[in-house]
């Protein structure tokens, strides 16, 4: 009988298992959605006009839909400069268009054919999540850990929920993880190029690469090596692309993307506490239970990563020490960012799980680089939550 250990003992096997899980999720969501792949988009009639869309899409009535409809709109024509086109109206055009890589790849995979866009939006994220599992398994093995742990990064709830609604988190996570893999071997040019794709997929990735740039520069200056290695300057490339794209969109739309999206709160945990007092617990007890399960999982991961900080950097060689310090710094930056998330991000689990997908991925990597195995209970909790997430995506929009 094939054991779990042998089933997931190579990155390739991890990738095959990841693809199988995602295929089951995809087929189930398609099947329970009346065999309509556009169910992944979650269009709402407030922003989508059924009479004007170039290909039939499943549209919810009396609904604002979800963000996937805006990625679909951009995938029909990525560089379109109209607020309303192809039957879909962008709520905040510069804010939506700053996340350009995901819809552009879907458009490219579809060869510009509108009828293929609903399929290629799913395909791009499918490949991205399989890629996350394979790269994470490779990194785990590099740190003498079981490659099967790499599957945990893909199974993080934020990535699966985003996959189920055609959002950019899976692709952004793939680019971030691949860039961090290149960083592990100090291949800074490759890291910088891939990171640039990451920040143009989802702008919060700049938090991770800001930490990467600062820590890599600091480590370069601390070395005794002379002449000084200035290769760390390559890590300014993602920032340059990000600023350049922001300037372009500001010129096109007349205002900066940052001014149209949700703003961070002025006090830490203000949004979380506000929503905790406003949540309709009695009216929606089951939704409340689900919310607490996802919050509990994130808190558990937070505590395990925090406990791993007790492993002193001095016990590692310089390469691992620098890498782990960079990962920890990025994770801390993300934790601070999460503390200032506005109330709207805590209204339901879709909001905070999505935005914390990259945070959770960094947390797993901190454990791997410190040589710490995730606790058995956390692994079981992750698997149970994964089953619940898959069933949820099968049965609801």
Residue 315, pLDDT score: 66
Element (DSSP H or E) covering residue 78: none
**pLDDT band at 381; cut points 50, 70, 90:** very high
pTM as predicted: 0.95
How many distinct structural domains can be found in the chain? 1
pLDDT tens column, 143-174: 999 999 999 999 988 999 999 999 999 999 99
Task: Evaluate if residue 226 carries a pLDDT over 60.
Answer: no
Expressed as residue numbers, the domain containing 262 is 4-395
- Listed in sequence order, the residues at least 6 apart from 308 whose beta carbon sits closer than 8 Å to its beta carbon are 366, 367, 370, 372
DSSP percent split of the chain into helix, strand, coil, nearest 5: 70, 0, 30
> What's the average model confidence in pLDDT over 91-115?
97
Q: What is the rounded CA–CA span in Å between residue 342 and residue 93? A: 21
Residue with tokens 């692709």: 171
Handedness of CA 292, 293, 297, 303 (dihedral sign): positive
| Integer Cα distance of 46 and 63 in angstroms | 6
Q: Are 149 and 369 in contact (CB under 8 A)?
A: no
Mean pLDDT of the chain: 92
Residue 378: burial class (beta carbons within 10 Å; 0-12, 13-18, 19+): middle
Structural contact between residues 175 and 195, judged by C-beta atoms closer than 8 angstroms: yes
| 303-317, 318-332, 342-356, 378-392, range with the lowest pLDDT | 303-317
């Amino acid at each position: 009988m094939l054991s779990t250990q042998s089933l997931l003992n190579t990155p390739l096997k991890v990738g095959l298992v990841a693809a199988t899980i995602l295929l089951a999720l995809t087929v189930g969501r398609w099947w329970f959605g009346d065999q309509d792949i556009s169910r992944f988009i979650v269009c709402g009639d407030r922003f989508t006009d059924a009479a004007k869309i170039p290909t039939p899409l499943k549209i919810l009535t009396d609904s604002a839909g979800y963000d996937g409809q805006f990625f679909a709109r951009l995938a029909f024509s990525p560089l379109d400069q109209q607020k309303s086109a192809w039957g879909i109206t962008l709520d905040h055009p510069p804010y939506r268009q700053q996340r350009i890589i995901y819809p552009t790849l879907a458009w490219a995979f579809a060869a510009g054919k509108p009828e293929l866009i609903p399929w290629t939006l799913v395909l791009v994220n499918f490949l991205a999540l399989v890629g996350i599992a394979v790269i994470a398994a490779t990194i785990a093995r590099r740190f003498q850990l079981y490659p099967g742990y790499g599957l945990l990064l893909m199974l993080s709830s934020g990535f699966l929920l985003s996959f189920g609604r055609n959002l950019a988190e899976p692709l952004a996570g793939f680019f971030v993880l691949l860039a961090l893999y290149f960083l592990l071997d100090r291949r800074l040019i490759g890291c910088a190029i891939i990171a640039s794709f990451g920040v143009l997929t989802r702008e919060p990735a700049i938090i991770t690469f800001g930490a990467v740039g600062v820590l890599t520069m600091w480590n370069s200056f601390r070395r005794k090596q002379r002449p000084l290695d200035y290769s760390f300057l390559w890590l300014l490339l993602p920032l340059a692309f990000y600023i350049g794209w922001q300037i372009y969109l500001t010129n096109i739309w007349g205002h900066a993307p940052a001014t149209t999206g949700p703003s961070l709160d002025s006090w830490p945990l203000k949004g979380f506490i506000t929503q905790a007092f406003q949540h309709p617990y009695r009216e929606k007890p089951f939704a409340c239970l689900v919310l607490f399960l996802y919050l509990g999982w994130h808190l558990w991961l937070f505590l395990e990563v925090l406990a791993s900080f007790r492993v002193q950097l001095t016990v590692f060689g310089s390469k691992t020490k620098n890498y782990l310090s960079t990962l920890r710094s990025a994770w801390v930056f993300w934790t601070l960012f999460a503390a200032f998330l506005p109330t709207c991000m805590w209204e339901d689990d879709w909001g905070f799980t999505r935005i914390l997908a990259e945070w959770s991925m960094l947390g797993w990597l901190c454990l791997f680089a410190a040589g710490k195995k995730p606790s058995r209970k956390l692994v079981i909790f992750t698997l149970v939550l994964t089953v619940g997430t898959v069933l949820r995506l099968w049965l609801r929009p």
